[in-house]
């Protein structure tokens, strides 16, 4: 496993403005220095659907996990973090290649924010002419930012062939993105790039690796339940059974 250490030696000035529209960008405290941000996008049926991302605030900077789905909220999210926490975002990691995770990569790269995806995600974005990150992750990697450490973990194919999860061991937070389904739904959702059989094995892999997280952050809808992993497994097994007849 590779380890990347960020040595933070700069100080940030508070120059941002507040979020522009509370209905388009919702920020909810999770625990300690972690916050969930929610934006909204059209999944293709003409209606708006919530997408959850997360950010971490340290004493010297902030880190984004996934980018807003709503392209009008790239800058308001940065401004909100600056206003709320007097910190600047220096890094962003996207968890798979779909636009609800990667839409803001090019924008944030232009802002001087270090953007990351896995090599697998980058290959898919390149193939589809999508926005690409500046830096690539090769294999499971541990990042150290300030006093926090977190791991990227590839569990196997699932919602997409490249999906990764993030593990914050000290705070027992599993950030799952679209790999993990909310208890609000009984549908596996968008299956355009999914592999149900592999997804089942990949969920079990995460369960075996990270046990019972205190917080499990889903890519869409409510993330409050501790049962999202087992619920996702139930959905997938039911879907596979119903479609194998």
* Diameter of the chain measured on Cα atoms: 61
Please state, in angstroms and rounded to a whole number, the distance separating the CA atoms of residues 110 and 70. Answer: 18
**Token pair for residue 16?**
């941002």
Closest CA to 203 of 153, 141, 151, 155: 155
Measured between its terminal Cα atoms, the distance across the chain in Å is: 41
Write out the DSSP string of 46-64. SS-EEEEEEEEE-SS-EEE
**Residues carrying an active site annotation:** 96, 98, 100, 159, 190
Please state, in angstroms and rounded to a whole number, the distance separating the CA atoms of residues 214 and 94. Answer: 22
């Amino acid at each position: 496993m590779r380890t990347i250490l960020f040595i933070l030696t700069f100080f940030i000035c508070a120059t941002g403005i507040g979020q522009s529209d509370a209905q388009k960008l919702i920020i909810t405290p999770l625990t300690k220095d972690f916050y969930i941000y929610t934006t909204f996008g059209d999944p293709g049926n003409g209606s708006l659907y919530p997408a959850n991302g997360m950010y971490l605030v340290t004493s010297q900077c902030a880190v984004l996990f996934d980018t807003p789905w709503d392209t009008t909220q790239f800058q308001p999210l940065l401004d909100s973090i600056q206003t709320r926490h007097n910190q600047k975002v220096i890094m962003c990691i996207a968890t798979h290649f779909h636009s609800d995770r990667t839409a803001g990569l090019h924008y944030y790269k232009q802002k001087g924010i270090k953007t990351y995806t896995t090599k697998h995600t980058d290959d898919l974005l390149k193939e589809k002419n999508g926005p690409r990150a500046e830096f690539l992750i090769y294999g499971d990697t541990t990042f150290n930012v300030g006093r926090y450490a977190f791991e990227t973990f590839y569990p196997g194919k699932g919602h997409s062939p490249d999906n990764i999860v993030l593990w914050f061991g000290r705070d027992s937070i599993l950030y799952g993105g679209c790999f993990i389904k909310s208890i609000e739904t009984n549908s596996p959702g968008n299956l355009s790039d999914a592999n149900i059989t592999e997804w089942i094995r990949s969920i079990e892999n995460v369960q075996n690796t990270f046990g019972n997280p205190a917080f499990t952050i889903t890519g869409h809808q409510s993330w409050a339940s501790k049962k999202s992993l087992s619920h996702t497994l139930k959905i997938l097994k039911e879907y596979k059974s119903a479609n194998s007849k």
